[in-house]
Amino acid sequence: PNNHRQHQSELAAEKNPQNSRALSTRRELYERDFPVYKQPVEVGNFSLDSERRFFNDSRQMRYYVEPDRNPNFNLRDGYKDRFIKRDDSVKEKLSHILRWVIANRSKLTTRMTTASPCALDVDFVTWRGHLTKLLTTPYETREGWMLAATKFRGTIYISEVETEAAQRERENRTERHEEMMYWGYKFEQYMCADNVHSAPDPDGVVNTNEAFCTVVQTRLADHRLLFSGEVDCRDKDPSAPAPPTCYIELKTSAEICTPKQRSNLHRFKLLKWWAQSFLPGVPRVVAGFRDHEGVVVSVETFHISKISQLIKNEYNCWRPTVCMNFCCDFLSFVKRAVTEDSHSVVYLFSWEPHKDVTYSVHRDSQYSFLPHWFIDEMST
Ligand code: 0WD
Ligand code: CA
**Prediction ipTM score:** 0.94
With a cut of 50, say whether residue 175 has pLDDT above it.
yes
Average pLDDT of 32-43? 98
pLDDT at 243: 98
Percent of the chain past pLDDT 70, that is, above it, reads 93
Average pLDDT of 356-376? 98
Residue of the nearest CA to atom 31 in ligand 1? 251
Q: Is 272 in the pocket of ligand 1 (CB under 6 A)?
A: no
Q: Is 251 in the pocket of ligand 1 (CB under 6 A)?
A: yes
pLDDT at 274: 98
Q: Is 184 in the pocket of ligand 1 (CB under 6 A)?
A: yes
Counting atoms of ligand 1 from 1, which one is nearest the CA of 129? 21
pTM: 0.94
pLDDT 10s digits, 275-314: 999 999 999 999 999 999 999 999 999 999 999 999 999 9
Q: How far apart are CA 229 and CA 277, in angstroms?
A: 9
Ligand 1 geometric centre to CA of 230 (Å): 7
- Confidence band, pLDDT 50/70/90 cuts, at residue 112: low
- Confidence band, pLDDT 50/70/90 cuts, at residue 117: low
- Top pLDDT among 10 and 230 is at 230
- Confidence band, pLDDT 50/70/90 cuts, at residue 13: very low
Q: Is 129 in the pocket of ligand 1 (CB under 6 A)?
A: yes
Q: How far apart are CA 145 and CA 139, in angstroms?
A: 13
- Confidence band, pLDDT 50/70/90 cuts, at residue 227: very high
Ligand 2 geometric centre to CA of 372 (Å): 32
Cis peptide before 40 (omega within 30 of 0): no
Q: Is 237 in the pocket of ligand 1 (CB under 6 A)?
A: no
- Confidence band, pLDDT 50/70/90 cuts, at residue 5: very low
pLDDT at 380: 83
Task: Please choose, from the candidates 100, 87, 113, 119, the residue with its C-alpha nearest in 3D space to the C-alpha of residue 44.
Answer: 100
CB 32 within 8 A of CB 264: no
Residue of the nearest CA to atom 43 in ligand 1? 88
